């Protein structure tokens, strides 16, 4: 089997792992990424102060160095190669393209200057080529972060943390410089439901509660548990969150210069402008209720509050971006599928095309969640393959893709090219005492490789 995997984040690598580990069918894998660099959200999403999480890269690298695996970096599906082009050259395609856009609140003022998606901010501090040019007005004293998932925790922590704690990481140099000049004093972290329904993990909220220069402030009345939340509170992770926050509530305001004010039962209804930029946020206060399925939902009380906020981050979840020639469910923001088998608009399976990770199930779960998810999709693929389902049964030249890309003038990177870039980034980092100094634009990456190759030739 010749399998194309589109996307080199965790779900793509776990699909590769599942294919390479089985020995029922010999397999050749070509993995594509639109960026010259591999690893998706592990490189561009995981926060720079969470280096341990990035340790999974060692596993991915071992796979990438195996003989039946090739990496094609800087090759974008829909730009440099078309879905039909893949269908001609591979027996199976696995889409591991993640969710590269974000959900919208649908409230007035959402798109005002100074209102950003968390995706943009995360990409910016992580040196992602799509976002490195963005500017965030960190001269503002009051910031609002909407949503209380783990992405909101990352955004809040990067804003609230002492920049010295980030200085040795792989944070982009321009982001560190901007954070050093930050005048942010208060970060309002806004959840629409209660503490027993919070999407953050216990470890993540605790990290915010233990920052050296920032106090986490919660209101005692907002972390009390009532009858409606009793079932959610019984969940061990939720219980850890609530119990911790109840302790934090007893600390009061604290004495540190910066505050993270975590609020529950608050739903932003409008962002207000002053001088063409966001300056404040209106929100309705909620109460909790149960819907017909027994799920705890937020209901507006009709009472409103207004908060000063000169910078707003919306962190309410991601969604996918459609790829030309590949089915897309616009409502759900993902590739339609039944247990990883891609389906078309009529719900019929598209033979020998599969999907894994966030593109398959939406933006949920931790990195490790993708392992079992990718294994399940690969099992479906193998069952289909044994039943004779493949995109084509023709013999194809192993180098056909390489030749096509070269003929089309596409500058693609191999995994060995990436390893050279990796070494250069590590060397740049060592100069300034950092783990790594990333290249943050594609031309910069390509130029660094050319310079390195020229130096090796001399």
Q: Of 17, 142, 154, 161, which one interacts with ligand NAP (CB under 6 A)?
A: 154
Q: Of 171, 283, 316, 381, which one interacts with ligand NAP (CB under 6 A)?
A: 316
| Interface with ligand NAP, residue 151, by CB under 6 A | yes
Read off φ and ψ for residue 371, nearest 5 degrees: -70, -55
What does the CA dihedral 402, 404, 407, 409 come to, rounded to 10 degrees?
-70
| 8 A C-beta contact, residue 398 and residue 416 | no
| Interface with ligand NAP, residue 364, by CB under 6 A | yes
Q: Of 22, 51, 82, 150, which one interacts with ligand NAP (CB under 6 A)?
A: 150
Q: Rank residues 206 and 308 by Cβ distance to ligand NAP and give the closer one.
A: 206
Q: Tell me what percent of the chain is helix, strand and coil, each rounded to the nearest 5.
A: 35, 25, 40
The CB-of-145 to ligand NAP minimum distance in angstroms stands at 10
DSSP annotation of 24 reads S
Q: Residues, the chain, total?
A: 458
Does the CA dihedral 336-337-343-347 come out positive or negative? Answer: negative
The CB-of-317 to ligand NAP minimum distance in angstroms stands at 5
Residue with tokens 């920032």: 214
What would the DSSP string read from start to end of 316-383?
S-EE----TTS--BTTTTB--EETTEEE-TTS-EEEEEEE-THHHH-S-S-TTHHHHHHHHHHHHHHH
Binders of ligand NAP among residues 97 to 116 (CB under 6 A) are 105
49-54's contacts with Cβ under 8 Å and 24+ in sequence apart are 49/157, 49/158, 49/161, 49/165, 49/166, 49/169, 50/154, 51/169, 51/170, 51/435, 53/367
| Interface with ligand NAP, residue 148, by CB under 6 A | yes
Binding region for ligand NAP (CB under 6 A) out of 240-248, 256-264, 314-322, 432-440:
314-322
| Interface with ligand NAP, residue 452, by CB under 6 A | no
Binding region for ligand NAP (CB under 6 A) out of 160-168, 197-205, 233-241, 346-354:
197-205
| Interface with ligand NAP, residue 149, by CB under 6 A | yes
User: In whole angstroms, how far apart are CA 233 and each of 53, 194, 288, 290, 376?
Assistant: 28, 10, 13, 14, 31
Q: Of 12, 36, 98, 191, which one interacts with ligand NAP (CB under 6 A)?
A: 191
Q: How crowded is residue 300: how many other Cβ atoms within 10 Å of its Cβ?
A: 15
Q: Of 199, 205, 218, 405, which one interacts with ligand NAP (CB under 6 A)?
A: 199
Binding region for ligand NAP (CB under 6 A) out of 8-16, 190-198, 325-333, 433-441:
190-198
| Interface with ligand NAP, residue 192, by CB under 6 A | yes
| 8 A C-beta contact, residue 118 and residue 151 | yes
Binding region for ligand NAP (CB under 6 A) out of 6-14, 178-186, 195-203, 250-258:
195-203
Q: Of 231, 328, 365, 380, which one interacts with ligand NAP (CB under 6 A)?
A: 365
| Interface with ligand NAP, residue 146, by CB under 6 A | yes
Site string for ligand NAP, 267-306 (x = CB under 6 A): x---------------------------------------
Q: Rank residues 12 and 191 by Cβ distance to ligand NAP and give the closer one.
A: 191
Q: Which residues pair with 288 in a beta bridge?
A: 298
| Interface with ligand NAP, residue 366, by CB under 6 A | yes
Residue with tokens 């060692």: 58
| Interface with ligand NAP, residue 262, by CB under 6 A | no
Per CB under 6 A, residues contacting ligand NAP are: 50, 105, 146-152, 154, 191-193, 197, 199, 201, 204, 267, 315-318, 363-366
């Amino acid at each position: 089997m010749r399998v194309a995997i589109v996307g080199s984040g965790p779900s793509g690598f776990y699909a590769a792992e599942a294919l390479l580990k089985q020995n029922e069918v010999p397999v050749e894998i070509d993995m594509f990424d639109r960026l010259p660099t591999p690893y998706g959200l592990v490189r561009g999403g995981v926060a720079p102060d969470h280096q341990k999480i990035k340790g999974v890269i060692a596993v991915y690298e071992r796979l990438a160095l195996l003989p039946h695996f090739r990496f094609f970096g800087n090759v974008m599906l829909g730009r440099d190669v078309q879905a039909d082009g893949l269908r001609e050259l591979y027996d199976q395609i696995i889409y591991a393209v993640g969710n590269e856009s974000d959900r919208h609140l649908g409230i007035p003022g959402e798109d005002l200057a100074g209102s950003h998606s968390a995706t943009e901010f995360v990409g910016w501090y992580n040196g992602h080529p799509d976002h490195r040019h963005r500017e965030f007005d960190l001269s503002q004293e009051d910031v609002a972060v909407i949503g209380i998932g783990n992405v909101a925790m990352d955004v809040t922590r990067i804003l609230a943390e002492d920049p010295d704690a980030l200085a040795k990481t792989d944070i982009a140099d321009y982001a560190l410089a901007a954070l050093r000049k930050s005048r942010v004093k208060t970060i309002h972290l806004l959840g629409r439901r209660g503490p027993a329904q919070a999407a953050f993990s216990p470890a993540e909220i605790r990290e915010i509660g233990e920052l050296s220069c920032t106090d986490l402030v919660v209101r005692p009345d907002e972390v009390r548990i009532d009858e409606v939340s009793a079932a959610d509170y019984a969940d061990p992770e939720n219980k850890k969150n609530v119990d911790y926050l109840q302790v934090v509530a007893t600390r009061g305001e604290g004495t540190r210069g910066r505050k993270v004010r975590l609020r529950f039962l608050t739903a932003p209804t409008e962002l207000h402008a002053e001088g063409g930029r966001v300056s404040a946020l209106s929100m309705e206060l909620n109460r909790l209720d149960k819907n017909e399925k027994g799920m705890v939902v937020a209901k507006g009380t009709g009472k409103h509050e207004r908060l000063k906020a000169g910078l707003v981050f919306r962190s309410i979840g991601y969604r996918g971006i459609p790829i030309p020639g590949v089915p897309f469910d616009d409502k759900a923001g993902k590739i339609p599928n039944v247990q990883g088998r891609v389906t078309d608009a009529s719900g019929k399976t598209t033979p020998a095309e599969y999907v894994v990770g966030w593109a398959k199930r939406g933006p949920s779960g931790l990195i490790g969640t993708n392992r079992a998810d990718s294994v399940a999709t690969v099992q479906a693929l193998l069952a289909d393959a044994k039943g004779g389902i493949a995109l084509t049964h023709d013999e194809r030249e192993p180098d056909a893709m390489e030749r096509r890309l070269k003929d089309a003038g596409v500058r693609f990177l191999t995994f060995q090219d990436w390893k050279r870039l990796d070494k250069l980034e590590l060397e740049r980092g060592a100069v300034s005492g950092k783990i790594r100094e990333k290249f943050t634009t594609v031309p910069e990456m390509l130029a660094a490789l050319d310079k390195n190759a020229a130096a090796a030739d001399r």
